[in-house]
Amino acid sequence: ESDPTFGNVSLSAYKATHIAQISEELLQDSNFDMAGLLTRVIGQNIGVLQNTGFVVGSGSSQPTGICTSSTTVGKTGTTGQTTSVTADDLVDVEYSILPYYRRAASWTMKDATIAAVRKLRTGVSGDLTYLWSPGLSASQPDTLLGYPLFSDPDAPTMAANAYSIAFGDHSGYYIRVAGSFQVQRLNELYAGTGQVGFRGWERVDGKLVDAQAVKTYRNSAT
């Protein structure tokens, strides 16, 4: 018998903001909805900013990224693997989490890392089988060791001590959204220069609440 241990995790609300300006003439002369276009662009930019925080955020005035904590390392590369990973390393990361979490697990890494991983083979003598497998259709992700593989441009580049690969059940990462995405039109602030401003913002935070759900591969220090 053993007693479960509980703790408290606080999710704050950090404001991601983007301001864009457009001339009064362009707003008047355009044949389509420029204000709507700016709203979409601002929303996309804020989404990119938030994703960076969710992946590699420091936790100081921004979310705590899923690839920034040394407590989630499932495997550290041996000396000399500052910019590389082996097939055995990936297997070790896979089995660093419990079977319960592996049922809904997936891989996350950036394109450059995927390019390196796609070249890895099983290592069995005479076997040229790749660990990576293409998705069977456009709607299905590629797989690595049988688990879905997703590309994220904010995942760390393989370098000394980088948490370059994440694997596990990402539902263990909690995101708090405090209120909805909002856009404010600023007619007066930039009027002196003939501009109209559009300010968008959203307040969010994110943390890996279940440290057992996701593990990372950490490149070696030297």
pLDDT digits (tens, 9 = 90+) for 21-45: 999 999 888 888 888 999 999 999 9
SS3 label, residue 203: strand
For residue 123, what pLDDT is reported?
66
For residue 136, pLDDT over 90 is answered with: no
Decide if pLDDT at 192 tops 90: yes
Which pLDDT value is given to residue 134? 83
Higher pLDDT, 212 or 136: 212
Q: What percent of the chain has pLDDT over 70?
A: 97
Torsions phi, psi for 109 (to 5 deg): -165, 170
The answer to whether residue 198 scores a pLDDT higher than 80 is yes
pLDDT at position 69: 82
Lowest mean pLDDT among 67-71, 119-123, 179-183: 119-123
Percent of the chain with pLDDT over 90: 77
pLDDT digits (tens, 9 = 90+) for 48-87: 999 999 999 999 999 999 999 888 999 999 999 999 999 9
Distances (CA, A) of 142 to 56, 108, 113, 120, 138: 23, 11, 14, 14, 9
Tokens representing 136?
A: 């069977």
Nearest by Cα to 164 from 45, 97, 91, 72: 72
- The sheet with strand 163-168 has its strands ordered as 73-76, 214-218, 163-168, 106-109, 147-151, 142-144, 132-133
Q: Which of 63-67, 70-74, 136-140, 210-214 has the lowest mean pLDDT?
A: 136-140
Helices (H), 11-119: 24-29, 34-56, 87-94, 99-102, 111-117
